[in-house]
Structure 1
Amino acid sequence: MNTKYIDLIEQTFDFPQEEFQVNDGNLLFHNIDILEDLIKQYGTPLKFTYLPKISQNIQQTKKWFYEAIQKLDYSGSYNYSYCTKSSHFKHVLDEALKNDIHIETSSAFDIDIVRALYKNGKLNNQNYILCNGFKRDQYIANIANLIEDGFENCIPIIDNFEELGLIQSLTNKKFKVGIRIASEEEPKFEFYTSRLGIGYKNIVNFYQETIANNPQTELKMLHFFINTGIKDNAYYWNELLKCLKVYVNLKKCCPSLDSLNIGGGFPIKNTLAFNYDYQYMIEEIIHQIKIACEEADVPCPHIFTEFGSYTVGESAGTIYKVLYQKKQNDREKWNMIDSSFITTLPDSWAINKRFIMLPINKWDHDYERVLLGGLTCDSDDYYNSEQHVNAIYLPIYEKDNPLYIGFFNTGAYQESIGGFGGLQHCLIPQPKHIIIQKGKDGAIETSVFKDAQKSNELLTILGYENE
């Protein structure tokens, strides 16, 4: 009989996969034996970031766009930019910027990160700095300072009717701008139109009244983004076509406009059954842009994307140990982990986000159906079939033979939403964070980015440092 955990996975999914293999009952992630190479050295709970995956995703995407542009004889170029809000960590930005990309910002402090990267030679003043978001006070001032300091491709993406004047009041230099379209949201939302950007019908008038005869500004970019991401459905294609109508109408009266930013939203793998045809979507998007421009007899724009989660999401994982199993009734078995989902994977409970969850060891053991519980006293601190798509099966719990489990593709937003370095629910400490990279000889190297939180760190935040 096929009753081992590995039998279950091989019968249910196409396994092994590019990043996951099994050797002697242990899970390998990009050929790294997590039990032997990470857990035995660093313990649990543990977070890790595998930096090579960031470069891999960037380079693959640039290749897809290049091939589509060549295939379709598209006259514009492609520019990859990274949304810093997905993960602001220095090691993430350093890795991403190895790949000749650009930056998208969303707040005042982002500009301070840009300056730090420039100081360290990771960015130059020719890189595109696309400044998105609702801008006030310090953000406006920081953008103006970048322009003053010669960042020629710092492009504030105008979000409302007042922002342009606020930036002009702080600099006398000529600068480029973009305009963000306030796209219509998918019907599942309680509101019809995004709170970000300027309405479709107002953009041409806004340009003519505010930018066209303004000697200090030059409109270069139209920005389009929808919250649900790039999906092959009627909603996405309908919104893209509406955006293209605005672009061609704007281009006819604005010769300097030459770039279309289609935002981000490529999905990342959240199950072993994940299936998304990135190459088809890229080709179809470029095809639709080309058709719309040719029909309107306007030049095709340069294409920009802003990939955040897609850039960094699949580079990281979180590892837990099952501390104990509680049998609360005849049917439910609770495997209690040595940390908290609320603090380490906030999206798993806040929006029921799905992650790939797999055991690290004991793949050659029998399995059982379980629920997963965190350490806090909050009833929402759990991970079950609602987040996991289906029932959770894991190798059978044995008190004297510890089971370790991993959540993968957790690299986007979890640290910032969870409040990295700050207070955590029930004062559960943040786990140790490990960086994994390849050395010059191609060998895997690991290092500690941040140790697990200590009691004194939390007490200091709470004001007990002098007690």
Structure 2
Amino acid sequence: MNTKYIDLIDQTYYFPQEEFNLDGEHLQFHGIPLNELVQQYGSPLKFTYLPKISENILRAKNWFANAIEKNNYKGKYHYCYCTKSSHFQHVMHEALKNNIHMETSSAFDINIIEKLKADGKLTNETYVICNGFKREKYIDNIARLINDGHQNCVPIIDNYEEIDLLSDAINDTFKVGIRIASEEEPKFEFYTSRLGIGYKNIVPFFENQIKDNDKVELKMLHFFINTGIRDNAYYWNELVKCLKVYVRLKKICPSLDSLNIGGGFPIKNTLAFEYDYQYMINEILNQINITCSEADVPVPHIFTEFGSFTVGESGGAIYEILYQKQQNDREKWNMIDSSFITTLPDTWAINKRFIMLPINRWNDEYERVLLGGLTCDSDDYYNSEQNMNAIYLPKYKREKPLYIGFFNTGAYQETIGGYGGLQHCLIPQPKHVLIDKDENGNFTYKLFRAQQKAEDLLDILGYQVDAEHE
């Protein structure tokens, strides 16, 4: 019988894959020897593989270049990175190597933009697309950026008050976009996004607040789908509705020349993942060409805002199985040396699944298990792979350590989990390692943050820690 873990994977998936392969019984991720990484730094740990960020940006740029040529598309393409996916400096610096633009969500994002400008990482030519509901601090920061000469900062109008607030704060003329309040998928608890302005209200809004305002120039229509760019009837229907608004608006607003098709590309969350990125881009540009041709208006320049796609597939987390608890005749709980709630919050908050594979012992027999975290919370668990409805791992043996990895975790988990702050049940934040390549193609490793210590958490909580106990 084929009872080894490697046999299970071979029977279930095409393996090895582009980013996953084996060196003996040890897993490699983009060639990174993960077992050696664990031996050097211990567990739990998180890592970021920086070259994957540039790789995905260049892939998307290439897909759009191919689609522009194939469709004889007359507009330009601009790649924006959604800072909210990961604000870390090492992520920003890697992304900005690729001549991209930025999308912000709140006031402090602008402070990061200003720091990147001071460091020479971006210039006034970089587009800064400002999304989100804007209150005083965000308005002030956007105004400061524009008043200091960043004319390519484009606030996206989210509500009816923002035009007046921005006009009062900005000294000279400025560009804006309008966000469409798209309709949500039928399974949502509400019908229309809380963000943006409704389809029917956009043209009247332009005529009432922008058309005769000498300070404001409308440049962009912003179309965002919460579920991302997917090949289904819902997405195509919303895109067609958006394009109808664009051509109506273009006919009365010559300055409008850009369409932001916000909503990201999906990333790989299972070894069975399939998605035809090139087809989707080709079809989007084809639909825009058709609609604009029929309406006899020029096609818009295209902006995208990719967050998870940019950084998600660069991240991973590694844990050790500490112990196995046989709770009844069917359920075996493998306990990890950290917490899912604190380190991978999307696994319990929105039931998100990541690729999960053992780091070692691929030649051992396997068993079905559940995975539990260290907090005393019933929700701190991970119990199924997306397409197998179960978790299988090499059999637990006390004398043979077992390490497991979760992959493509690089987007949102740190900020949602409260990176560097308090963690549920005071479980410490794991160490974080940055992985890069030198000019010779060799891997380099840098400890970005050590694991939290007791005094770190006590200090946040307001306790005085005696020096002798530090």
Q: TM-score range by the shorter chain?
A: over 0.9
Q: Structure 1 residue 31 and structure 2 residue 16: aligned?
A: no
TM-superposed CA distance for 1:434, in Å, is 0.2
Aligned counterparts of 1:53 and 1:399: Cα–Cα separation in 2:
35
Matches within 5 A, 1:254-273: 254-273=253-272
Structure 1 SS opposite 2:35: helix
Structure 2 SS opposite 1:229: coil
Q: TM-score, normalised by structure 1?
A: 0.99
Give unmatched runs, 5+ long, in structure 2. none
The aligned amino acid for 1:49 is T
The answer on whether the counterparts of 1:316 and 1:411 sit within 8 Å (CA) in structure 2 is yes
The residue that corresponds to 1:89 in the other structure is 88
The residue that corresponds to 2:156 in the other structure is 157
Structure 2 SS opposite 1:240: helix
The residue that corresponds to 1:334 in the other structure is 333
Matches within 5 A, 1:252-331: 252-331=251-330
The aligned amino acid for 2:425 is C
Kindly report the root-mean-square deviation, in angstroms, between the aligned alpha carbons of the 2 structures.
0.9
Aligned counterparts of 1:166 and 1:389: Cα–Cα separation in 2:
52
Structure 1 SS opposite 2:138: helix
The answer on whether the counterparts of 2:375 and 2:427 sit within 8 Å (CA) in structure 1 is yes
The residue that corresponds to 1:10 in the other structure is 10
TM-superposed CA distance for 1:264, in Å, is 2.5
Aligned counterparts of 2:196 and 2:135: Cα–Cα separation in 1:
14
Q: Structure 1 residue 226 and structure 2 residue 243: aligned?
A: no
TM-superposed CA distance for 1:465, in Å, is 2.5
The aligned amino acid for 2:2 is N
Q: Structure 1 residue 374 and structure 2 residue 357: aligned?
A: no
Q: TM-score, normalised by structure 2?
A: 0.98
TM-superposed CA distance for 1:388, in Å, is 6.7
Structure 1 SS opposite 2:170: coil
Number of aligned residue pairs: give it. Answer: 466
The answer on whether the counterparts of 2:455 and 2:465 sit within 8 Å (CA) in structure 1 is no
Structure 2 SS opposite 1:224: strand
The answer on whether the counterparts of 2:158 and 2:197 sit within 8 Å (CA) in structure 1 is yes
Aligned counterparts of 2:385 and 2:26: Cα–Cα separation in 1:
26
Aligned counterparts of 1:454 and 1:131: Cα–Cα separation in 2:
37
TM-superposed CA distance for 1:22, in Å, is 0.7
The residue that corresponds to 1:172 in the other structure is 171
Aligned counterparts of 2:316 and 2:416: Cα–Cα separation in 1:
16
The residue that corresponds to 2:144 in the other structure is 145
The answer on whether the counterparts of 2:270 and 2:386 sit within 8 Å (CA) in structure 1 is no
Aligned counterparts of 1:2 and 1:345: Cα–Cα separation in 2:
33
Structure 1 SS opposite 2:374: coil
The residue that corresponds to 2:216 in the other structure is 217
Structure 1 residues 92-146: Cα deviation after superposition (integer angstroms, max 9, x where no partner): 0000010000000000000000001001011101100000000001000000001
Matches within 5 A, 1:68-467: 68-385=67-384, 389-465=388-464
Structure 1 residues 300-355: Cα deviation after superposition (integer angstroms, max 9, x where no partner): 00000000011100000000000011111111111000000000000001110010
Give unmatched runs, 5+ long, in structure 1. none
Aligned counterparts of 1:454 and 1:241: Cα–Cα separation in 2:
53
Structure 1 SS opposite 2:262: coil
The answer on whether the counterparts of 2:227 and 2:263 sit within 8 Å (CA) in structure 1 is no
Aligned counterparts of 1:466 and 1:176: Cα–Cα separation in 2:
52
The answer on whether the counterparts of 1:352 and 1:387 sit within 8 Å (CA) in structure 2 is no
The aligned amino acid for 1:200 is Y
Aligned counterparts of 1:458 and 1:29: Cα–Cα separation in 2:
33
TM-superposed CA distance for 1:246, in Å, is 0.2
Aligned counterparts of 1:171 and 1:268: Cα–Cα separation in 2:
39
TM-superposed CA distance for 1:209, in Å, is 1.4
The answer on whether the counterparts of 1:74 and 1:290 sit within 8 Å (CA) in structure 2 is yes
Aligned counterparts of 2:161 and 2:407: Cα–Cα separation in 1:
42
Structure 1 SS opposite 2:169: coil
Structure 1 SS opposite 2:367: strand
Structure 1 SS opposite 2:433: strand
Aligned counterparts of 2:213 and 2:376: Cα–Cα separation in 1:
59
Aligned counterparts of 1:57 and 1:427: Cα–Cα separation in 2:
35
Moved more, 379-388 or 356-365: 379-388
The aligned amino acid for 2:76 is S
Aligned counterparts of 1:172 and 1:207: Cα–Cα separation in 2:
21
The aligned amino acid for 1:30 is H
TM-superposed CA distance for 1:387, in Å, is 5.8
Aligned counterparts of 1:367 and 1:385: Cα–Cα separation in 2:
15
Q: Which runs of 4+ in 1 moved over 2 A?
A: 386-389
TM-superposed CA distance for 1:466, in Å, is 5.5
Aligned counterparts of 1:235 and 1:354: Cα–Cα separation in 2:
23
Structure 1 SS opposite 2:224: coil
TM-superposed CA distance for 1:389, in Å, is 4.9
Structure 1 residues 40-98: Cα deviation after superposition (integer angstroms, max 9, x where no partner): 10000000000000000000000000000001100001000000000000000000010
Aligned counterparts of 1:106 and 1:44: Cα–Cα separation in 2:
33
Aligned counterparts of 1:446 and 1:131: Cα–Cα separation in 2:
34
The aligned amino acid for 2:238 is E
- Identity across the alignment (%): 72
The answer on whether the counterparts of 1:346 and 1:414 sit within 8 Å (CA) in structure 2 is yes
Structure 1 SS opposite 2:197: coil
Structure 1 SS opposite 2:457: helix
Aligned counterparts of 1:23 and 1:427: Cα–Cα separation in 2:
37
